[in-house]
Structure 1
Amino acid sequence: MNKTDRLLAIVLQLQRKSILRAEDLAATFETSVRTIYRDIQALSEAGVPVVGAPGQGYSLMEGYFLPPITFTAEEAVTLLIGTDFIEQRFDIDYGIRARSSRGKIEAILPEHVRSEASRVRKTIRLLASKEDISSGQNREYIETIRRAILEERKVRFGYSKRMPEEDGNRRSVREAAPYGLVLVQGSWILIAQCDLRQDIRHFRLSRMTDLTVLEDRFKVPSDFNLHDYTPLDDRNTRVSILVNPDIADKVKESNNFYMEAAEDHAEGLQVNFRVRQPEELLHWVLGWGADVVVLEPESFRNRVRDEAEKMFKRY
């Protein structure tokens, strides 16, 4: 980044945040603190009202606002593709606003930038996942949960787990305080404080039914930050399989959530997983037929063999 671009970026950073230290700016722009000092001096000499508070940092004088700036074609494409993504992945309400934003962005672009952005966008396409195509309910649930989060109201829903509980049931009714929504590998996940488990739990929207917003209110703990939140990883069981070389690429492209490593060997592709229970991989492994062999653990190898024998008897 050259000096001119950095000076503009510094002003934009100060405009977004109330106060920033020289060390923060240096880290953001990957330069030295001394360089930031010189940049601040250059901005002040150019008439930008930067105020320095000893021991606190820099801020812009109240009332100062940088007027709208011109986007490059690449920046415009980035924003326009962002609106495409939101329209496709978020709820209907945000989809409408994404289309509106796209129109406003295109309207303010100079003709040559608009033409170049249009040419680049024609070479890029976002395709919805199968889950997005098959479930309009997801979008309704996103909007409902989003509003519940903003209004700080609890939600109730039926939930079907992949693996049965200790009592053998897969389905339960939950009441929870919704903290946030996360998009993981194409699937929307609700992060919420579950009343039943008295702890933070993750709920896949595609497994929810009968979602209802309750009158009960909640407060997000002051020490909870969705962007900093890291769930406890309790996947302590390792599973290793050997894949026929003919389908190795397909297995890699399947992008299984539990996959940790894959290594090519003379006899095939060895893939390692980390799971809570090996049964979480049962149907996935069986789906590859005889082209996949479980190496370990032995108990899971036997489980797959028993299931295969049951399948053989059915045919």
Structure 2
Amino acid sequence: MNKTDRLLAIVLELQARRAVRAEDLAALFETSVRTIYRDIQALSEAGVPIIGTTGRGYSLVEGYFLPPIRFTIEEAVTLLIGTEFIEQQFDEEYRHRARLARKKIEVTLSDRVRDETSRVHQSLRLLAPGKRSDSSSEKENLNNIRRAILDRKKIRFGYTKKTSPAAESAYSKRTVDPYGLVLVEGSWMLVARCDLRQGIRHFRLSRMEELTELEEPFEYPDDFDLKEYVPSDDRFLTVTLRFNPSLADKVKQSNFPYIEEMNEHPDGLDTLLRARQPDDLLQWVLGWGAGVVVLEPESFRQRVREEACKILERY
């Protein structure tokens, strides 16, 4: 953190708390106490009314409040994503307040920052955010891809894809035009035009390695809107399950992405799922144990029987 940013951060910290010791500020900003003393002196000389009290630390004169400040692009995007999350996850009252907050944030931005913020914000989308991943590689890839999207530069990476738990992983090198990032069930996905496949494809950031930004630019298509983008549906396998009544609430709260319909009745909860292949559903269905039965198709019933027999053999 440079000195200018640190001075501003000190004022914000003093504004949020009644009194702060120099030692606490030094620990917070990872600098020396002597540097904090110099920073406080610089702020005082700049006209910020700071009071130093022995044993209590520094505080602002009562009634002083920092005037409105300009947001950076990254700060504005962070706030806008926050309002978008609230609109998706909270009730109507908070959705209304989030929309008002977004408008207030946008009017404080300069034209340049507003344009750049809009570009970055349009390249991000939240779909069922779920539990956040702690993968360090995913975080690093996320930062690099965000920068490439902003720079309008192609990226290259190695990608590992596994079509099913039983299949061997397939590795390939990909060069793509990064259109946007989507958060789905806690995992970040890249929506991009793949040079190898000559079309739009989706890539899990956690399966990428050796990601690099290239010097080659790409043109963002005029007719593509990440917020409105709907991937082609190739989930042709339809499975119907019946859960015990005692499990109905848990199934509803599971937010399993392959669930299409649910119908609750005295005998239990009938659930319709659509997937690309049986392995997309198998582990989830087995996880409910004897509390679920496959109604159809017979081929999937047989697959569950076979897997259950394998489990029995191991015990």
Could you say which TM-score interval applies, normalised by the shorter chain? 0.5 to 0.7
Change (3 A) 1:157 1:244: farther
Report how far residue 130 of structure 1 moved.
Answer: 7.3
Bigger relative contact order, structure 1 or 2, given CA contacts below 8 A and separation 6+? Answer: 2
User: Aligned partners of 1:209 and 1:250: how far apart in 2?
Assistant: 36
| Contact 2:193 2:200 (C-alpha < 8 Å) held by counterparts | yes
Q: Which residue matches 1:191?
A: 191
User: Aligned partners of 1:161 and 1:277: how far apart in 2?
Assistant: 15
Report how far residue 136 of structure 1 moved.
Answer: 3.6
Residue 149 of structure 1 pairs with residue 149 of structure 2:
yes
Report how far residue 257 of structure 1 moved.
Answer: 0.6
Change (3 A) 1:154 1:164: farther
User: Aligned partners of 1:208 and 1:295: how far apart in 2?
Assistant: 38
AA at the equivalent of 2:248? A
User: Aligned partners of 2:161 and 2:291: how far apart in 1?
Assistant: 28
Report how far residue 162 of structure 1 moved.
Answer: 4.6
1:313 alignment partner, SS class: helix
| Contact 2:154 2:176 (C-alpha < 8 Å) held by counterparts | yes
Q: Which residue matches 2:209?
A: 209
Mean CA deviation greater in 203-212 or 276-285: 203-212
Report how far residue 180 of structure 1 moved.
Answer: 0.9
- TM-score, normalised to structure 1's length? 0.55
Deviating 4+ runs (over 4 angstroms) = 83-86
User: Aligned partners of 1:252 and 1:146: how far apart in 2?
Assistant: 34
Q: Which residue matches 1:285?
A: 285
Any stretches of 5+ residues in structure 2 without a counterpart? 1-67, 69-78, 87-104, 109-128
1:134 alignment partner, SS class: coil
User: Aligned partners of 2:130 and 2:228: how far apart in 1?
Assistant: 29
Report how far residue 311 of structure 1 moved.
Answer: 1.3
Aligned length: 200
Provide Cα deviations, 1:47-66, integer angstroms capped at 9, x if missing partner.
xxxxxxxxxxxxxxxxxxxx
Change (3 A) 1:176 1:308: same
User: Aligned partners of 1:307 and 1:170: how far apart in 2?
Assistant: 24
| Contact 1:182 1:191 (C-alpha < 8 Å) held by counterparts | yes
| Contact 1:279 1:300 (C-alpha < 8 Å) held by counterparts | no
Provide Cα deviations, 1:85-122, integer angstroms capped at 9, x if missing partner.
79xxxxxxxxxxxxxxxxxx9xx9xxxxxxxxxxxxxx
Q: Which residue matches 2:235?
A: 235
1:132 alignment partner, SS class: coil
Q: Which residue matches 1:272?
A: 272
| Contact 1:239 1:278 (C-alpha < 8 Å) held by counterparts | no
Superposed CA RMSD in Å reads: 3.3
User: Aligned partners of 2:264 and 2:84: how far apart in 1?
Assistant: 38
User: Aligned partners of 1:84 and 1:199: how far apart in 2?
Assistant: 29
Mean CA deviation greater in 264-273 or 155-164: 155-164
| Contact 1:239 1:273 (C-alpha < 8 Å) held by counterparts | yes
Provide Cα deviations, 1:116-153, integer angstroms capped at 9, x if missing partner.
xxxxxxxxxxxxx7752522433322211011112222
Change (3 A) 1:281 1:171: farther
Report how far residue 280 of structure 1 moved.
Answer: 0.9
Q: What are the within-5 Å matches in structure 2 for residues 76-225 of structure 1?
A: 82=82, 131-164=131-164, 169-225=169-225
| Contact 2:259 2:271 (C-alpha < 8 Å) held by counterparts | yes
| Contact 1:155 1:178 (C-alpha < 8 Å) held by counterparts | yes
2:222 alignment partner, SS class: coil
Q: Which residue matches 1:256?
A: 256
Report how far residue 161 of structure 1 moved.
Answer: 3.2
Any stretches of 5+ residues in structure 1 without a counterpart? 1-67, 69-78, 87-104, 109-128
AA at the equivalent of 1:218? F
Mean CA deviation greater in 180-189 or 141-150: 180-189
Provide Cα deviations, 1:200-242, integer angstroms capped at 9, x if missing partner.
0111223333322233332222322223322211222211111
| Contact 1:157 1:212 (C-alpha < 8 Å) held by counterparts | yes
| Contact 2:158 2:210 (C-alpha < 8 Å) held by counterparts | yes
| Contact 1:191 1:200 (C-alpha < 8 Å) held by counterparts | yes
Change (3 A) 1:178 1:252: same
